[in-house]
Chains A and B, each alone.
Chain A
Amino acid sequence: MILALEQILNGAQLGLMLFLLAAGLTLVFGIMNLVNLAHGSLYMMGAYFAVTLIDWTGSFVLGALLALPAVLLLGIAVEVICLRRLYARSHLDQLLATFGLLLFFNDLVLVIWGKAGRTIALPGWLRTSVEILPGVPYSAYRLLVIAAGLVVALGLWFTISRTRIGMRIRAGASDREITGALGIDVASLFSLVFGVGAMLAGLAGILNAPILTVQSGMGERILVIALVVTVLGGIGSVRGAFVAALSIGLLDTLARAFLPDLLKVVLPASAAQTAGAAAGSMIIYLLMVITLAVRPQGLFPVRAR
């Protein structure tokens, strides 16, 4: 029971990190019809910026906060210099070009930060654990990550669903041509959306940096899952991304934790261990296949036509 609660919190944390990535990805795909494989690179760059800025400032909080505008600017630069030329091209061209960007960033960090993975040491007050229930300790930092993820998700939900700019973003995602013909500069709106999306991906990288090793290629695994989230939630739908991200985060974490034990009921111990681990890592793709078979447009389709 205690383990289950811990795993649920871990799952929520993974889900919220996935949401931070998927939010930008889904809007970029929805509004500009651009498949951006380099989105995971912005996640990675967030983590590396945090490594250096925490080093320079000597403060975890200050360094992490400064890394955010750095990723925002990097995102806008990538959009203006490179991606803007790709909107009218085919998805295959976009995949090739953004895959090129991904390789470029992976090598760039090797040149600048070296081959060895980097770690970020947390300040003492974040290295403690908190008793979430009597007798159940949980890492204070992980709780902070969950809280930050929730605050950002709430802020994003408010912006998208309650403000004028949010209405325009949603309008642009459902019908770009008509949005433009009503006087909205979709290209500029999009630069902003892309920059903020990059910043959110960067935030996920920054928050994950103290938990994981910061290294070249760290964006790829999470990008693949974030793409699954995007497709599952419905391309262009932030609400869909949120629901799908939390579902996948929880499902992935819980399946990896508990499937081997569950299978032991019907299988010999060693077979259950192998099968459970394999099934645990497959289960989110299975969910995607089933969802797409039933609802090809995802859970919350934006283009309801």
Chain B
Amino acid sequence: MLEIDRIDVSYGRLQVLFGLELRIPAGQVVALMGRNGMGKTTALRAIMGLVPVGTGTIRLRGADITNRPSHRIARAGIGLVPEGRRIFPNLSTRENLLAAAANRRHAAAPWTLERVFDLFPRLAERADLSGTQLSGGEQQMLAIGRALMTNPDLLILDEATEGLAPLARQAIWSCLARLKAEGLALLVVERDIKALATLAESCVMIEKGRVAWTGSGIDLAADPALVQKYLGI
């Protein structure tokens, strides 16, 4: 569904991505992995149109979305759950969910406030609280719900379980499994190899802005040397 063809991305004179290639088939889960500063977040930002792509193309369902304004890319069906969650602090939980809600591509069973509250009952209890009054885990649920309300068919999650308590991590992972079961494609930046082994069809290791290794989550979990080499853990 999403095809990234040999993209280069630079911040000024500093080149971060070198001919990066990535494929995300419809309904599949792809994990982007690698140490900090290897270009994972930059790759996600390039897909969303938040950093300019130098050369190369990004296609969504065959349509070229390279360097389109980010609101057009989002409207084409990509939902972003950004690093650090970035909840709107001056909006309530309910407003965070409603502000960008839309069903532009006429999904048959669109995400609604009720469905998001059903997925995350905690958010329903906190509907009228400001986004900043939520716990880290709840904020993460809110960021996911906010992206779902735009009814994407690809959800991008940048470090969605980073810094969360074990219980909250578990809640996010089971939510992602449920979303996958509903047919949503996921692109995740993650380092939890155990969780990825059961969820991700493909894991892509990035080193210095290039794809260094690609394989399934199961392959990765079975090869500690590989994990040591690319992630240092």
Contacts and interface: CB of A to CB of B under 8 A. Distances in A.
Interface of A: 164, 167-168, 170-171, 173-175, 177-187, 237, 302-305
B132 A178 contact: no
A173 B99 CA distance: 13
Nearest to B152: A183
Contact of B71 (A171, A186, A303): A186
Contacts of B50: 177, 181
A167 B71 contact: no
Counting chain A CB atoms within 10 Å of each CB, the highest count among B70, B73, B74, B98 belongs to: B70
A173 B91 CA distance: 11
B122 interface: no
B90 interface: yes
Contact of A183 (B74, B91, B95, B96): B74
29 contacts: A164-B99, A167-B98, A168-B100, A170-B91, A170-B95, A171-B96, A171-B100, A174-B88, A174-B91, A177-B70, A178-B80, A178-B82, A178-B86, A179-B100, A180-B71, A181-B48, A181-B70, A181-B71, A182-B79, A182-B146, A182-B150, A183-B71, A183-B100, A185-B69, A186-B71, A302-B90, A303-B89, A304-B90, A304-B132
Contact of B90 (A170, A178, A183): A170
Given A167-B91, A181-B73, A183-B74, 17 more contacts: A171-B88, A173-B90, A178-B80, A179-B99, A180-B69, A181-B50, A182-B71, A182-B79, A182-B99, A182-B146, A184-B99, A184-B100, A185-B69, A186-B71, A237-B90, A302-B90, A304-B132
Contacts of A178: 80, 82, 86, 88
B165 to A, nearest CB: 21
A182 B147 contact: yes
Nearest to B94: A167
Contacts of A167: 91, 95, 98-99
Nearest to A187: B69
Contacts of B80: 178, 181-182
Given A167-B95, A167-B98, A168-B99, A180 B70 contact: yes
Interface residues of B, number: 28
Contacts of B150: 182-183
B35 interface: no
A94 to B, nearest CB: 22
B142 to A, nearest CB: 12
A126 to B, nearest CB: 39
Interface string B38-80: 0000000000111000000000000000000111011100011
Given A171-B100, A174-B89, A303-B89, A185 B71 contact: yes
Nearest to A169: B99
Contacts of B82: 178, 181
Contacts of B69: 180, 185, 187
B88 A175 contact: yes
Contacts of B79: 182
A180 B82 CA distance: 12
Interface in B175-201: none
B100 A174 contact: no
B86 A182 contact: no
B102 interface: yes
Contacts of B71: 180-186
Nearest to A164: B98
A177 B104 CA distance: 20
B74 A182 contact: yes
Contacts of A182: 71, 74, 79-80, 99-100, 146-147, 150
In the A-B complex, the 10 residue pairs with the smallest Cβ-Cβ separation, listed nearest first, are: A183-B74, A182-B100, A167-B99, A304-B89, A180-B70, A183-B75, A171-B99, A171-B88, A181-B80, A181-B70
Nearest to A177: B50
A171 B95 CA distance: 9
A152 B151 CA distance: 35
Contacts of B90: 170, 173-174, 237, 302, 304
Nearest to A182: B100
Contacts of A237: 90
Given A183-B100, A183-B102, A170 B70 contact: no
